[in-house]
Structures are given as C-alpha cells and as structure tokens.
A and B are shown apart, each in its own frame.
Chain A
Amino acid sequence: MHTKTPRLIAAAALGAGALILSGCSGPSAADSGSDDTFSATLVGGVAGDLSYTDTTLAGLEQAAEELGVTTKHIETPDAAQGETLLRSAIPTSPDLLLSITLPLDTVISIAEQYPDQLIALPDQGDEGTELPDNVAAYTINVHEGSFLAGVVAGAMTESHVVGAVIGGQAPGLDQFALAYKQGVLAACPDCEVKLSYLNFQFSDPALGKSTALDLHSDGADVIFQVAGGTGTGVIEAAEENGFFAIGVDSDQDSVAPGTVITSMLKRVDANVFSLIEAAQNGDFASGYTQVGLADGATGLSWDTGSTVFEENAPAEAAAKIPAIKELVEDYRSQILDGSLAVCDALNEPDSEACAALG
C-alpha cells in the first residue's frame, strides 16, 4: 500500500497539471473565437523603433483601451519570416488580422486561401492591384504633411541651406522628400535643399550620423530624416553639433528635446484604430481608402499639441516658433481648400507640382 501512495500523488499531480495546462490554453483559444471580446492581431514590424511600428502599436493600444479589444502583436524582425508568421496567426482566428511591412502579393495570396479571415492593411500604397473581399487597405499620402515639414525647415534655417536624409530612392520615399523640398522653397525661395539618399539602409545609425554631418558641413542647419533607425543617428548628430532635425512617422520631438523641431507624422495609429472600430461594428469595407492631410492621417507633431521644442530649445530658436506655426496654418488652409497643389511623387509623379522640382 505504501508504495502506491507516491504513484497516486504523481498521477494526481499529472492530472492537475494537465488541467492547468488545458485551463491555460482553453479559454484563450475560445476567447479569440467567441464574439464576446473582439480580437485583433497585428503582424509585422519591430517594437521600439521610435518610428513606424511604434505608431502602429499606439493605435493598437488605443483600440484595446477605448474599444475593449483583445490585441496581440507578432513581430517580424526578419522580413523573410513575415509570411510564416502571418500564416501562423490565422489558426488563432482573430476577428481582425492587421498586417504591416509585408509585401502586398503575399497578403493577397494568404487572404485568398482563407476567405473568412478579415485582413486589414493600415498602411499600404495603392499599386492598382485588385484586393479580395476580405482585405481592406488604407493608403496614407504623406506629401502634404511633408510639405508642412518643409515649410518649418525653410522658415527655421539661418544658413538658407536645409537637408534631408532619405533611406533610399523609391517613389514612396520621394513622396516625403520632394514635397518637403517644395515646402522649403515655398517658405524660403532662395534656400538650397540638399537631399541625401542612402542605399535602403534603415538600421545603421552610424551611417545616418555621417550623412547628417556631411550635409551640415555643407551648411545645412535643419535636416529632415526619413530613414527609420538610421535616422536616430541624424538626430544624434544634430544634438551633438547644435543644429536642428525634423522627425518622421511618429512623434520624435522627445528623442532629443530642443533639437527636433517637429515631427512629420504618418498616422498609421489612426488607421489601425478606425479599421478595428469599423470591423468591430461590422462595417468592414474591403478595398482601398485614401487618407491624407484632410483626414488627419498626416501632419506635424504640433497638431497633436507637442510643445517639447519650444520648452527646450535655445531662446532665439524658440522665439521663431509662433510665427512659423502661423505660416504652417496658412499653408495648411491653402492645401485643404485646393488652391495649393503639393507634389505627390508616389501617385502623380508627372504632375506640374513635381515637374517644377526637377
């Protein structure tokens, strides 16, 4: 009898363990399937880039707080794993699957394979590809916001030379760069705009710093960075050498207070939120939706009330800000009422506004 007790205990422990285990996996599996709480899973990006992914995550967090949605983020540090990770998310059957940074045709092929899975792309350029009925995509046109960033740079510069560090030369990135140039020239017609393109290196801060210092040595005193992680080096260079930078994608004003004048926002977070909200209310609309300055999808960090620069910058630089803000509002209303056409290098590269920029 004595020998049997430990075995019984072991069996009981095993049984309890199995119960605990099933208890762990059971509800969560049921959770995402049931209609009680709406669940959204985001696949793509790497958290903590202070830029693109963080903006997207902010939208996810907002949805979790305000809409009571269960959210999950699956990171894809290696783009090659993206497809596998997206597929692996489908068996957990979230009510809405969000995808960033993955190639569109990959997403479409997965969507066609699982026609019941709703998939949303909060930031996807419209390449003219037809989308299946279970895919919704938002296209953010950043040119108008970038124009305003250019106005800020043009009004701020003392040397009348401004620069930009761009991650690579592609229509999507030129949508930032050319509109920025146009904005600078609008605010400061005799300014020189130096655009420095990299070779699609988005995680090399040392290169970003070198590029920014090179532009600075040619006189640039305001530099706009459109280069993801490489851009942190641009901001670092500006902070160290006492010139100014403009952030991109998310609000980077606090990365170097008093150095980053403002940030050109790409509000992927707003798209994430509205996509989740729509899907939760059963209003999931497939196809493309174009959003821009008028929808608040792009703009400056000042629009969301950031005053980090004014509070931390040297007095003479901070003193310029109120006048620049007025100028920005002036241009904003001109863009919104259609009297000012901003170059859109992604969708209309042959337009008059772009041709004028060379």
Chain B
Amino acid sequence: MDAILNFFSSEMLHSGIRLTTPILLGAIASALSSRAGVLNLAIEAKMLVGAFVGLLALDAGGSTFTAILAAFLAGAITGGLMAGAHRLGVDLIVFAIGLNMLALELSVYLMRVLFGGTGVWTPEVDTLDDIHIPFIESIPFLGDLLSGYNVLVYLAFAAAIAFTLFFRYRPGRHLLAIGEAPGAAAAAGIAVPRYQATSLIVAGGVAAVGGAFLTVGELGLFTRGMTDGAGWIAVTAALLAMNRPGFLIPASLLFGFSDAFAIRLQSTTDLPQVVVQLLPFLATLVVLGIVGYRATRAAALLGMPKRPRGAAKRPQPATSTAGS
C-alpha cells in the first residue's frame, strides 16, 4: 500500500495532468475536424503556431489572457487557411504536411530574425498562476489530482466536456450528419461547406491554445519544435477515442500519463529501463486491441440494435458458431 501511495505521488499526478493538457486540446481539435469529415493532420503546426504567437504576445506586454487569445486567433487563422484550401479542393493531407513543415521552420526563422541568432528564446515573462481550489485542495488524493493547475488545464477539460454536450444540440447533430454522410447532409439542407470551415477554424484555435499551454502556461520559453510530436499524439488519441467526445479525456490521459508513469516507475522500482519505456506502448497496444475487438463486434451486429441477453442464445446458429 505504501508503495502504491509512493508511486501515485502528488508530483506524478500533476505531471500526468500537465502532460495530458496539450494532448487533450489537440485531440479535441482533431476529433472536431474528423466529425466534420476532414482528416486534420496539421494539429502539430497549429500547436507550434499557438506556442510561438502566445509567447510573442506575452512578451510584447500583453496579459496572459490576451496572449492566449492571440494564440487562439493565430491558430484559427491557420485553420482558416486549411478551410480555404479545402474549399479550393486542395488535398488536405498534403496541405497539412506542408503546414507542419512551414510552422516548424517559420517559427525558428522568426525567432532568429526577431530575437537574435538563437534556438532557445527565454523572454522575461510571468507564466500563468496555478489555481488552488479551497477545500478540495485539502482532500488527500483528490486534492492533488484536482487542484493546483493553471487555468488552461481546467479549460481543456471543460472544453472536452462541452464538446460532449455539443452533440446533444442541433449544430452538433448537423455536424455528426456531415461527418457520416456529407451528401445526405447536403440533401437535407445542411450548409456542409460552412460547417466544415467553421469546424476547421475552431479546431485550429483550440489546438493553438494547446500549444500556448506549453509556452504561456508552463515554460515561458520557446525552443525549436518544442511540441515534439504532441500534435501527432493528439491525432492518435482522437483516433483511439474513435472521435467520440466522451472517450477523448481517457484516451488523452493514457498518453499524458504514460510519460509520467515512465518517469515515476524509474524512481520507485528497479525495473530495467527498456521495460519501463516499453510499458506505455504496451498499454496503448492493449487498448487498441480492445477498441479493435469492440469495433468488429459492432460490425458483426451490422448496426442492428443489440438483442436482449438470453434471447441471443436461441436462434441464429451461424453467429454463435462464429463467436465461439
């Protein structure tokens, strides 16, 4: 029991939640785009844009709020570029790869031109303050898990929940319809291009806030390619969640905590290093296996409603033999 408590130290929980936040915001952006019927692979670019512009605005004397707003707008513009390209019939996968490369090199170029020939830019700025929630903070385990993060962490989780609720309303339903069958949606009178463009723009902004979390929220510095693949992990997390809003948080937590676990396992156990680094990937594989199994089961039902338990046994010998 002591070992378990030692393992789930408050720092471990904090690390995990902090590492989850940019992934979660990116995953929301990715899922939103996917639901609009667009595979958005430029999450990484938008995060970098947000990271850079956010710090730029903060350094230029803006408050942390304006910095985050600036990051959101910059990401939204990048998303707008994608929407425009989509309207023109450009292959968005190629376009996204181009954007990713552009954002990586342009941020480095601008950093060098504007702030001298360096690869790390550390302006004198104050990052976001941590919020300590009174009362909850003093609860042993929950306090560590829930309290003491900056506002963007709470915003990310709130956004994920809001995204879940969004599908209960008319625009959300329309978006679902567009993602499933754009032709049918258009025939039903839904403005497909407008929904897609709005989704891409909002997704760009949300992903950029994920990038701004790194610079404005956490580090107060910018380095070349500092998102280090977080955008790609976000796309993976969204795929793992099958773009279902309700699964985004657990899928992002899995990736965010995998690094935190790896860090913590080394401090508390004598497991060989290679095994420790392997565990997160193993966990991903297992989850993917479960998801894949469920997907085949779902396919076997062919969209028919599930039969009540017990009733399944009687007729249809074909399915039961296939099952066993």
- Chain A residues near B (Cβ < 8 Å): 46-50, 53-54, 77, 169, 194-197, 199, 201, 203-207, 209-211, 213-218, 229, 232-233, 236, 255
Q: How far is the CB of A30 from chain B (nearest CB, A)?
A: 28
Contact call A214/B264, Cβ cutoff below 8 A: yes
Instruction: Identify which of B122, B224, B266, B273 contacts A255 (C-beta below 8 A).
Output: B122
CA–CA, A31 to B277, complex, Å?
51
- Give 13 pairs: A residue, B residue, CB < 8 Å, sorted on A: A47-B118, A77-B104, A195-B266, A197-B266, A197-B276, A204-B228, A205-B219, A207-B259, A211-B263, A214-B12, A218-B9, A229-B226, A255-B120
Contact call B277/A199, Cβ cutoff below 8 A: yes
**Does B262 interact with chain A (Cβ within 8 Å)?**
yes
Knowing A213-B15, A217-B10, the reply to whether A204 touches B224 (Cβ < 8 A) is: no
**Does B260 interact with chain A (Cβ within 8 Å)?**
yes
**Does B246 interact with chain A (Cβ within 8 Å)?**
no
Q: How far is the CB of A327 from chain B (nearest CB, A)?
A: 28
A-contact 0/1 string along B219-251, CB 8 Å cutoff: 111011110100000000000000000000000
**Does B292 interact with chain A (Cβ within 8 Å)?**
no
Contact call A229/B214, Cβ cutoff below 8 A: no
Contact call B226/A205, Cβ cutoff below 8 A: yes
Q: How far is the CB of B186 from chain A (nearest CB, A)?
A: 41
Instruction: Identify which of B108, B220, B267 contacts A236 (C-beta below 8 A).
Output: B220
Contact call A229/B266, Cβ cutoff below 8 A: no
CA–CA, A232 to B18, complex, Å?
17
Instruction: Identify which of B9, B12, B119, B228 contacts A207 (C-beta below 8 A).
Output: B228
Knowing A46-B119, A206-B219, the reply to whether A214 touches B226 (Cβ < 8 A) is: no
Instruction: Identify which of A49, A206, A215, A229 contacts B18 (C-beta below 8 A).
Output: A206
Q: How far is the CB of A191 from chain B (nearest CB, A)?
A: 15
Instruction: Identify which of A199, A211, A229 contacts B120 (C-beta below 8 A).
Output: A229
With contacts A48-B119, A203-B225, A232-B221 known, what are 17 further pairs, Cβ within 8 A? Answer: A47-B118, A47-B119, A49-B224, A54-B119, A169-B274, A196-B263, A203-B223, A205-B214, A207-B259, A210-B15, A210-B260, A214-B12, A214-B260, A214-B264, A214-B267, A217-B9, A217-B11
Q: How far is the CB of B170 from chain A (nearest CB, A)?
A: 38
Contact call A205/B18, Cβ cutoff below 8 A: no
Contact call A206/B218, Cβ cutoff below 8 A: yes
**Does B14 interact with chain A (Cβ within 8 Å)?**
yes
Contact partners of A49 in chain B: CB under 8 A:
119-120, 224
Contact call B120/A233, Cβ cutoff below 8 A: no
Residue of B nearest to A54 (CB): B119
CA–CA, A199 to B273, complex, Å?
9
Knowing A203-B228, A206-B19, A206-B214, the reply to whether A214 touches B223 (Cβ < 8 A) is: no
Contact partners of B219 in chain A: CB under 8 A:
205-206, 209, 233, 236
Knowing A206-B18, A206-B226, A214-B11, the reply to whether A236 touches B214 (Cβ < 8 A) is: no
**Does B117 interact with chain A (Cβ within 8 Å)?**
yes
| Of B19, B22, B219, most A-chain CB atoms within 10 Å | B219
**Does B194 interact with chain A (Cβ within 8 Å)?**
no
**Does B112 interact with chain A (Cβ within 8 Å)?**
yes
Contact call B263/A214, Cβ cutoff below 8 A: yes
Contact partners of A77 in chain B: CB under 8 A:
104-105, 108, 224-225
Contact partners of A199 in chain B: CB under 8 A:
262, 277
Q: How far is the CB of A242 from chain B (nearest CB, A)?
A: 15
Contact partners of B11 in chain A: CB under 8 A:
213-214, 216-218
Q: How far is the CB of A266 from chain B (nearest CB, A)?
A: 17
CA–CA, A50 to B116, complex, Å?
13
Contact partners of A214 in chain B: CB under 8 A:
9, 11-12, 15, 260, 263-264, 267
A-B CB proximity, top 5 nearest:
A48-B119, A217-B11, A204-B228, A48-B118, A210-B15
Contact partners of B274 in chain A: CB under 8 A:
169
Contact call A232/B120, Cβ cutoff below 8 A: yes
Contact partners of A233 in chain B: CB under 8 A:
219
CA–CA, A143 to B105, complex, Å?
35
Residue of B nearest to A255 (CB): B122
Contact partners of B263 in chain A: CB under 8 A:
196, 210-211, 214
Residue of A nearest to B9 (CB): A217
CA–CA, A194 to B268, complex, Å?
10
Q: How far is the CB of B296 from chain A (nearest CB, A)?
A: 32
Residue of A nearest to B10 (CB): A217
CA–CA, A213 to B267, complex, Å?
12
Contact call B259/A197, Cβ cutoff below 8 A: no
CA–CA, A213 to B12, complex, Å?
9
Q: How far is the CB of B229 from chain A (nearest CB, A)?
A: 8
CA–CA, A216 to B11, complex, Å?
9
Contact call B226/A203, Cβ cutoff below 8 A: yes
CA–CA, A171 to B68, complex, Å?
42
Knowing A48-B120, A204-B228, the reply to whether A197 touches B218 (Cβ < 8 A) is: no
Instruction: Identify which of A50, A169, A197 contacts B119 (C-beta below 8 A).
Output: A50
Contact call A48/B224, Cβ cutoff below 8 A: yes
CA–CA, A49 to B224, complex, Å?
8
Residue of A nearest to B16 (CB): A210
Q: Which of B100-135 contact A (CB under 8 A)?
A: 104-105, 108, 112, 117-120, 122
Contact call A210/B259, Cβ cutoff below 8 A: yes
Q: How far is the CB of A34 from chain B (nearest CB, A)?
A: 29
Contact partners of B12 in chain A: CB under 8 A:
214, 217
Contact partners of B214 in chain A: CB under 8 A:
205-206
Residue of B nearest to A197 (CB): B273
Knowing A48-B120, A214-B12, A229-B120, the reply to whether A207 touches B19 (Cβ < 8 A) is: yes
CA–CA, A44 to B12, complex, Å?
37
Residue of B nearest to A213 (CB): B11
CA–CA, A214 to B119, complex, Å?
26
